[in-house]
Amino acid sequence: MSNMFSNIIKQYRKPQGISPKFLVFLAGLVLIYIANHNKVESLMRSEATLKKEISDLTYERIRSSARLMEMSKQSEVLKKAHQEGLGLEELTEPPRILE
């Protein structure tokens, strides 16, 4: 009986190495982790680039809108018409509805 217990104890105390399958699994996890990290860094760089581009385009839209509003003022249109020599004049009487 004591021989049976000593065999069981020896069996559990016997050092066992790491399985090659487990090492391959760990190596696969490491490769997946590295690939994921690189992909996230790439996405973060492209996100920063796109945010900067959006910001630049927003400022350009605001500037263009302000320029358009300035150019479409009646006084500016009249100045431009006189500069181009179109012969247009400002109305002195209000427009009327044709019936």
For residue 4, name the pLDDT band (cuts at 50, 70, 90): low
Contacts of 80 (CB under 8 A, 6+ apart): 71
Cα–Cα distance, 41 to 25 (Å, whole number): 24
Q: What is the pLDDT of residues 20-57, one digit of tens each?
A: 888 999 999 999 999 999 999 999 999 999 999 999 99
Q: Check residue 30 and give its pLDDT.
A: 96
Report residue 10 as tokens. Answer: 């020896």
Give the gyration radius of the chain's Cα atoms. Answer: 40
pLDDT digits (tens, 9 = 90+) for 62-89: 999 999 999 888 888 888 888 888 877 7
pTM beyond 0.75, yes or no: no
